[in-house]
Amino acid sequence: MFARVFGRCLPRPGYCVNRTNSIVQDIKVCGRYRYKHSSRGKGWDFIPSSSVSSPPPLSSRTSRARKMAENKDIPSTGVQQGPEPVAASAGASGGQDVKPSLVSTNPMVWIDCEMTGLNPPSDKLLQIACFITDSNLNLLDPTGFETVISRPESLLAQMDEWCTTTHTSTGLIPRVLSSKVTVEEASTALLAYIKKYVPEEKTAIMCGNSIHFDKLFLSIEMPEVVAWLSYRVGDVSSVKEFARRWCEEAVLEGLPVKKYTHEAKEDILESIEEARYYRKVLFRGGL
């Protein structure tokens, strides 16, 4: 005859005795059944109730476990634990060691790029900035990530007038020419930074203004970064377009003023601030 205990179909007590020499971690009593569990995870084994006495006091069990541990029979805790988590080291472009509490379960990876133009793959990435927030738009690292990629002067000479003027005024062109960072090194560093806060792939979305455009360049030059993130994106520009069509004018009038400096780090922080405004006004009870 069988009885069901903890979702298992088990024989009545007295019919099955564990003959392994593994160490018993604990002895428990459940209704009519007295059972024990081996330290090797062999499952529940049953012994006649007449042969099982009540568990000794906790102090006695603790003392016995300590003595057995000293003899290297079992760990003093009675449970084999994994290694302590080790904080990831800071990335090449900034950031601090990550505390477990800062690893969000629903992260958002905010990225902004500056390029030589608008036509990949002939145009290339020059500068990348990245910040990571939780789902409530709190920065997990206020320092963020930033890198400038080395490019030959011949490539910069092919930029149109707008790009040349803009990147000259921001000082990006001399930074590109003096940089020693290859695109491969930049990709490795960016992915390492993201993994510090997003240790599980496909759990974070890439966010920003018109983020599909940045993602297009990244998918060509840094496919490993794109592959680590979800295929979904969070486009702040799309929310703005919806607001223009569906909301009162007061919503757009209250938007934070942007500087449009075309500095990747400053631009992406402005995108996060804009998203915070929409969250407050459109998704948190209105004005």
Q: Residue 88: which of 76, 103, 78, 73 has the closest Cα?
A: 103
Same domain, residue pair 30 and 128: no
- Which active-site residues does the annotation give? 231
Both 136 and 240 in one domain: the answer is yes
Domain-located, residue 94:
no
- What pLDDT does 15 receive? 40
Residue 107: pLDDT over 80: yes
pLDDT band at 273 (very low <50, low <70, confident <90, very high): very high
User: Are residues 216 and 169 both part of a single domain?
Assistant: yes
How far apart are the two ends of the chain, measured CA to CA in Å? 68
Does residue 82 form part of some domain? no
- Say whether both 252 and 190 belong to one domain: yes
Mean model confidence pLDDT for the chain: 76
Confidence of residue 102 (pLDDT cuts 50, 70, 90): low
* Two tokens, residue 119: 């036509």
Cβ atoms of residues 2 and 9 within 8 Å? yes
Are both 169 and 57 inside the same structural domain?
Answer: no
Q: With respect to residue 42, please indicate whether it lies within any of the assigned structural domains.
A: yes
- In the predicted model, is pLDDT for residue 205 greater than 90? yes
Residue 87 covered by a domain:
no
Residues 111, 26 share a domain: no
Same domain, 113 and 52: no
Shared domain for 117 and 166, answered yes or no, is: yes
- Same structural domain for residues 48 and 162? no
Structure tokens of 104? 């969000």
**Among candidate residues 23, 47, 70, the one where a domain is terminated:** 70
> Is the CB of residue 151 less than 8 Å from the CB of residue 54?
no
Residues 42 and 121 in one domain: no
pLDDT over 90 for what percent of the chain? 60
Do 176 and 131 lie in a common domain? yes
Assess contact for 225 and 187: CB atoms under 8 A: yes
- Higher model confidence: residue 260 or residue 61? 260
| Range(s) of the domain holding residue 63 | 2-70
Q: Provide the residue type at 188 as one letter.
A: T
Number of structural domains the chain divides into: 2
Is residue 232 assigned to a domain? yes
In a domain, 81, yes or no: no
CB 202 within 8 A of CB 230: yes
Q: Where are the beta strands (DSSP E) in 150-243?
A: 205-208, 233-235
pLDDT value of residue 284: 77
Tens-place pLDDT, residues 124-171: 999 999 999 999 999 999 999 999 999 999 999 999 999 999 999 999
Please, which residues have CB within 8 angstroms of residue 211's CB and are 6 or more apart in sequence?
A: 111, 233, 234, 235, 236, 237
pTM for the model stands at: 0.66
Rounded Cα–Cα distance for residues 102 and 82 (Å): 21
Q: Are the C-beta atoms of residues 86 and 196 closer than 8 Å to each other?
A: no
- In the predicted structure, residue 252 carries a pLDDT above the cut 70: yes
Domain boundary (43, 70, 97) is at 70
Please give the pLDDT value at position 68: 42
